[in-house]
Chains A and B, each alone.
With several copies, the nearest count.
Chain A
Amino acid sequence: MKVGKPEKLIVNGKRLDGRAFDELRPIKIKAGVLKRADGSCYLEWGKNKIIAACYGPREVHPRHLARPDRAILRCVYKMAPFSVKERKKPGPDRRSVELSKVITEALENVVFLNLFPRSAIDVYIEVLQAEGGTRCASLTAASVALADAGVPMKDLVAACAAGKVDGEIVLDLFELEDNYGEADLPVGIVPRTGEITLLQMDGNLTREEFEKALDLAIKGALQVYELQKAALKEKYGGENGGEQ
Chain B
Amino acid sequence: MESNSIVASIKKDYILTVLETGKRVDGREFDEYREIEIIRGYAQRAEGSALVRIGNTQVLAGVKLSLATPFPDTPDEGILSTTAELVPLASPSFDIGPPDERAIELSRVVDRALRESNALDLEKLCIVPNEKVWLVNVDIYILDYDGNLFDASCLAAISALLDARFPKLEDDKIIYEEKTNEALPIKNKPVEVTFAKIGKYTVVDPNLEEEEVMDARITFGITQENELCALQKGLRGSFTREEILDLFDKAIEKAKELRRYLE
Contacts and interface: CB of A to CB of B under 8 A. Distances in A.
B115 to A, nearest CB: 8
A55 interface: yes
B90 A34 contact: yes
Q: Is the interface of A mostly helix, strand, loop or mixed?
A: mixed
B66 A129 contact: no
Contacts of B44: 47, 129
Interface in A33-59: 34-37, 40, 47, 49, 51-53, 55, 58
Contacts of A34: 58, 89-90, 143-144
B139 A196 contact: no
A108 interface: yes
B145 A36 contact: yes
B43 A82 contact: yes
Interface in B25-44: 42-44
B235 A105 contact: yes
Contacts of B104: 94, 97-98, 101
A84 B45 contact: yes
A199 B56 CA distance: 29
Contacts of B141: 80, 126, 128
Contacts of B252: 207
Interface in B96-140: 96, 98-99, 101, 104-105, 107-108, 112, 115-117, 137, 139
A52 B96 CA distance: 15
Interface stretch (A8-16, A20-28, A211-219, A224-232): A211-219
A97 to B, nearest CB: 5
> Which of A58, A108, A202 has the most C-beta atoms of chain B within 10 angstroms of its own C-beta?
A202
B85 A195 contact: no
Contact of A196 (B42, B176, B229, B241): B241
Contacts of B112: 202
Given A55-B92, A196-B244, A204-B223, A90 B144 contact: no
B139 to A, nearest CB: 4
B239 A109 contact: no
Contacts of A3: 72-75
Contacts of B83: 81, 90
B92 A69 contact: no
A60 interface: no
A16 to B, nearest CB: 13
Top 6 nearest A-B pairs by Cβ distance? A82-B62, A201-B231, A195-B238, A82-B46, A199-B233, A87-B64
21 contacts: A2-B74, A3-B73, A35-B146, A36-B208, A37-B90, A37-B144, A49-B43, A69-B5, A82-B139, A83-B46, A85-B177, A87-B137, A98-B101, A101-B101, A101-B104, A105-B235, A129-B44, A185-B231, A199-B232, A199-B244, A206-B226
Interface of A: 2-4, 34-37, 40, 47, 49, 51-53, 55, 58, 67-69, 76, 78, 80-87, 90-91, 94-95, 97-98, 100-102, 105, 108-109, 122, 124-126, 128-131, 183, 185, 190, 193-207, 210-211, 214-215, 218
